[in-house]
Structure 1
Amino acid sequence: MKSSNFLVVESDTTRADSIVSALTFLGYRPVLAKQMPLAEASENWRGAYVGMVDDENELEGYLSSLGRGGRQLPLLVAADSPLATSLIADDVRSQHVELVDMPLRYERLSEALRALQSRMEPVPSSRRFVGQSGPMQRVNALIRQVAPFDSSVLVLGESGSGKELVARTIHDCSPRRDKPFVAINCGAIPAELLESELFGHEKGAFTGAISTRKGRFEMAEGGTLFLDEIGDMSLPMQVKLLRVLQERVFERVGGNRPQRCDVRIIAATHRDLEDAIERGGFREDLFYRLSVFPLEMPPLRQRLEDLPALISEFNQRLVHRGLSSIRFSPSAMGALCRYGWPGNVRELSNLVERMAILMPHGEVRAADLPEKYRGVLPVEEVSGAALIAMMEAGPEITETFGYAGEGDPSVLPQGGLDLKDHLAGIEIGLIRQALDSANGVVAHAAKLLRVQRTTLVEKLRKYGLSETVQAG
């Protein structure tokens, strides 16, 4: 990343300095278009920022000087740029453009860069994990170290932390990558059926065995067998698995012909196996057979700096599935960072999808989050309707949200507030009340608010409320 270049096409000197500083801080090497030496035209350009540029031919000239890839270069475009509309409408470029508002916000810039990168560059299998936090860098380093060998790996970690992804990544980075990766959840299959699932069975071996069937060991021949939730396996089954791991020979249920197997074993569990050994629930010899190379996945609460990257990744997946992407406001991100995430990355993925359904193309504020994620809302996240309710409830409620002056929203809180967001919250609350009184009819609501109907329609679009109203 640090050796990459980023072209800055911006005639406003103040803005140019701002974007250059931000890109430098993020590890890029930005170059102003008007100062670009010809010698740099052939370098590895990673994107371009387009700001106050009136002439599209001028932009085309700069991009064409970068070589054949110039027209496909990812573009960060200032939302108020004269070229923003034409660039978004360009069928070739539309998928390569991300808008950023000015004055520049670091969070939005980072999010836009991640979105462009994930859209333009396929992630190689050795870098499938999202996030650059310290814990994830250590996990990636361990994966790279163990992948080339056939050693058994025991992946530990809480539910939803990505243990199967670890197993798949190890397989994809190993010499066995061209052979099958077969997974089985040992805790989801009844103990009496698990032996057949693992080793297969012969026809007539038991009631319902109407034909011979291969087990997972045979299906994974030459590849990798992933034994998920190994800690839930019964003791009798543990004995049979241990024999196979020691001798690399098994027999189908109902058969007597030994079969050799060549599979790599990766197991995973959210349980404390050493504690289970002390309680007699897990065999110590099987534990040491599986735990040649233990690898622990960190819970999400220990890698919160990866939240923006994870959300960006989930947004891209939603877009591929036909859903809309969403943005989280700084206050919403703050609330998510204070949450404990017992369901880890899986829970975050579910939340992003839920909010994408509820608020397509919108910005999710802390007040929009499900209740358990909100924590204590900052003052700028409280809607106008909520302000009125708090005023009626008295100072006990309003003081919780940082208001002084007996719940008077006209009094500046001690910690200050974001005036723009604060006024927007009040405006949204009043618009919703007017719409409720007018039964959702825009024209009637506009009369109550003493504004033109077209003005109210624009505000409804601005705040993402247009889908809740009736024409009129």
Structure 2
Amino acid sequence: MGHALIVEDDEDSARMIAALVVREGHTVVCAHSIGAARRLIAMQRPDLLLLDLHLPDGSGFDLLSDPDILADTVLVLMTGQASLETSLRALRLRAADYLVKPINPQHLKSLLSRLVAPSQLRAELAEVQEQWRKTGRFGDLIGRSPPMQRVHRQMSRVAGTAVTVFIQGESGTGKELVARGVHDLSRRRDQPFLAVNCAALSAHLIESEIFGHERGSFTGAEREHRGFFERAHGGTLFLDEVTEMPLELQAKLLRVLESGTFMRGGSAQVLQTDVRIIAATNRDAGEAVTRGKLREDLLYRLNVFPIALPPLSERGEDIQLIAESFLQDLHRADGGARCFSPAALVRLGAYHWPGNVRELRNVVQRTWVMAMGSEVTEEWLPPLGGAQLSRRREAVPPRATMTGFDETVPGVLELGGSEVVVEIGTQLAEVERRVILATYESCGRNKERTAAMLGISMKTLYNRLKEYRL
């Protein structure tokens, strides 16, 4: 049980909200102005403050001018519109959430069910930071490098709020781990965390998967289907590769972000949703807008709190730390005890890791399988670019220069120990086909790794393989 203060100038609305809060087991007092609210706070510090932004004697933000007045109070803003400005102000004030008027009782009930005191959140965050100092782990993320320390600080700052997070980074850098970490540090951590890869769903299925559909809404819809927004109610919905979402569906997502409502396919009933959105992309978001892949207005709503994930090649000391963690995971799963040789550690640190952490994990698994003794050597690690080129210079005579490849070994593109020979004058479509197929085979027909190495989305890879009849 906690003590709540409702600051709302509309007396009928204040009574309705108070009745809902009392029903959830809290004591309540109401104030209809900033002056009255200050007097009530002086008498008893509230555990929860539901604050209207438009009051007769000023803005609700005026009540928060003293940062210490509500240091251990859960702040929830009430506003007539969930605008970008409201989101940014809520972030600066570390507001737990904001409610859009007229207040939806179900949304308020869901919010009250996950109340956690700021002091408790701070204690839990301090525990996570202490674990990071000892082990290099920040939740499921591993890394001590300066770029990752910046990411950890951003996660710590945004987790306790309700604002939308937009993660940008190359494939395989751990965008879903960051989203999961933000969820686990938030007040929503006991509610569902659902992840959907927008690139892996067909254009025909993605709307139904996200918003759901009614029975009989289209051919084959034999039963009612609850989409991700319904199943993630009260929790977090992670939209990975959001730039691959069809533009007409992006408009519907924008409407959900602005109004908190949506409709199932084939239904006229408006449903309320209480879901925090975390989106991610491996594209340059600005470029995606320019190319017509992402709506500009949707980018503004998603990009309230951006987090940029660095590629593994920029994380220095983290490479060895992550590789050894993967090795320990294999120890626990399969038994035995192995370690990397000094030469292997040097090779791991020198390699450029185009597939990022995902590629590193696959490499560690492969070397674990191939290692014969207690030591994992460099034998089965990826060859370094310089060493590859020096061997190719000795073995292959010079040919005509081709822009983008090594000038001494023109027309040859190295791919994990194999090569693709392209003659001058070859059509670009054929060059693309050869490179994709060679990479696909080099990766053991692993589509995720192939897409990561080529720097393309899973959807693009699927389309190309379908075109090549694979």
- Report the TM-score range of the alignment, normalised by the length of the smaller protein: 0.5 to 0.7
Task: State how far apart, in whole Å, the 1-side matches of 2:364 and 2:262 are.
Answer: 44
In the other structure, the counterpart of 2:28 is none
Asked whether 1:369 is paired with 2:375, we answer no
In the other structure, the counterpart of 1:257 is 269
Query: Structure 1 counterpart of 2:227, which letter?
Result: G
The Cα offsets for residues 233-255 of structure 1, whole Å up to 9 and x where unpaired, read as 11111111111111110111111
Contact 1:182 1:225 in 2 (8 A): yes
The Cα offsets for residues 40-63 of structure 1, whole Å up to 9 and x where unpaired, read as xxxxxxxxxxxxxxxxxxxxxxxx
In the other structure, the counterpart of 1:429 is none
Asked whether 1:181 is paired with 2:197, we answer no
Q: Secondary structure at the match of 2:238?
A: strand
In the other structure, the counterpart of 1:148 is 160
Asked whether 1:166 is paired with 2:166, we answer no
Task: State how far apart, in whole Å, the 2-side matches of 1:315 and 1:277 are.
Answer: 41
Residue 193 of structure 1, CA deviation:
1.1
In the other structure, the counterpart of 1:413 is none
Residue 360 of structure 1, CA deviation:
5.1
Change in 2 beyond 3 A, CA 1:204/1:361: farther
Q: Secondary structure at the match of 1:195?
A: helix
What pairs up with 1:74-223 in 2 under 5 angstroms?
127-223=139-235
The Cα offsets for residues 138-167 of structure 1, whole Å up to 9 and x where unpaired, read as 111110000000100000000000000000
Task: State how far apart, in whole Å, the 2-side matches of 1:160 and 1:166 are.
Answer: 12
Q: Secondary structure at the match of 1:334?
A: helix
The Cα offsets for residues 294-344 of structure 1, whole Å up to 9 and x where unpaired, read as 001111000121122111211121123225443222222222222110100
Q: Secondary structure at the match of 1:285?
A: helix
* TM-score, with structure 2 as normaliser: 0.52
Task: State how far apart, in whole Å, the 1-side matches of 2:270 and 2:348 are.
Answer: 54
Contact 1:182 1:216 in 2 (8 A): yes
Residue 231 of structure 1, CA deviation:
1.2
From 358, 369, 374, the equivalent of 2:370 is: 358
What pairs up with 1:301-380 in 2 under 5 angstroms?
301-322=313-334, 324-359=336-371, 361-366=373-378, 368-373=379-384, 376=387
Contact 2:210 2:229 in 1 (8 A): yes
Task: State how far apart, in whole Å, the 2-side matches of 1:332 and 1:319 are.
Answer: 18
Query: Structure 1 counterpart of 2:325, which letter?
Result: E
Change in 2 beyond 3 A, CA 1:294/1:217: same
Q: Percent identity?
A: 48
Change in 2 beyond 3 A, CA 1:265/1:325: farther
Task: State how far apart, in whole Å, the 2-side matches of 1:292 and 1:256 are.
Answer: 30
Query: Structure 2 counterpart of 1:304, which letter?
Result: G
The Cα offsets for residues 106-151 of structure 1, whole Å up to 9 and x where unpaired, read as xxxxxxxxxxx99xx9998x54321211111111111000000010
The Cα offsets for residues 241-297 of structure 1, whole Å up to 9 and x where unpaired, read as 111111110111111111000000000110011011112221100001001000011
What pairs up with 1:271-286 in 2 under 5 angstroms?
271-286=283-298
Contact 1:336 1:374 in 2 (8 A): no
Q: Secondary structure at the match of 1:202?
A: coil
The Cα offsets for residues 154-195 of structure 1, whole Å up to 9 and x where unpaired, read as 000000000000000000000000000011001110112111
In the other structure, the counterpart of 2:300 is 288
Change in 2 beyond 3 A, CA 1:178/1:311: same
Contact 1:326 1:360 in 2 (8 A): no
Contact 1:161 1:298 in 2 (8 A): yes
Contact 1:191 1:237 in 2 (8 A): no
Residue 225 of structure 1, CA deviation:
0.2
Q: How many residues align?
A: 260
Change in 2 beyond 3 A, CA 1:207/1:361: farther
Task: State how far apart, in whole Å, the 1-side matches of 2:147 and 2:227 are.
Answer: 36
In the other structure, the counterpart of 1:297 is 309
Contact 1:336 1:373 in 2 (8 A): no
The Cα offsets for residues 77-132 of structure 1, whole Å up to 9 and x where unpaired, read as xxxxxxxxxxxxxxxxxxxxxxxxxxxxxxxxxxxxxxxx99xx9998x5432121
Task: State how far apart, in whole Å, the 2-side matches of 1:209 and 1:187 are.
Answer: 22
Task: State how far apart, in whole Å, the 1-side matches of 2:347 and 2:190 are.
Answer: 43
Task: State how far apart, in whole Å, the 1-side matches of 2:212 and 2:335 are.
Answer: 41
Task: State how far apart, in whole Å, the 2-side matches of 1:281 and 1:163 are.
Answer: 20
Task: State how far apart, in whole Å, the 2-side matches of 1:221 and 1:336 are.
Answer: 42
Structure 1: unaligned runs, 5 residues or longer = 1-116, 378-389, 391-395, 398-472
In the other structure, the counterpart of 1:228 is 240
Task: State how far apart, in whole Å, the 1-side matches of 2:372 and 2:318 are.
Answer: 23
Contact 1:249 1:260 in 2 (8 A): yes
Q: Which has the larger radius of gyration?
A: 1
Change in 2 beyond 3 A, CA 1:185/1:371: closer
Residue 370 of structure 1, CA deviation:
4.1
Contact 1:184 1:227 in 2 (8 A): yes
Residue 364 of structure 1, CA deviation:
2.7
Point out 4+ residue stretches in structure 1 off by more than 6 angstroms.
Answer: 121-124
Structure 2: unaligned runs, 5 residues or longer = 1-129, 396-470
Q: Secondary structure at the match of 2:343?
A: helix
Contact 1:222 1:263 in 2 (8 A): yes
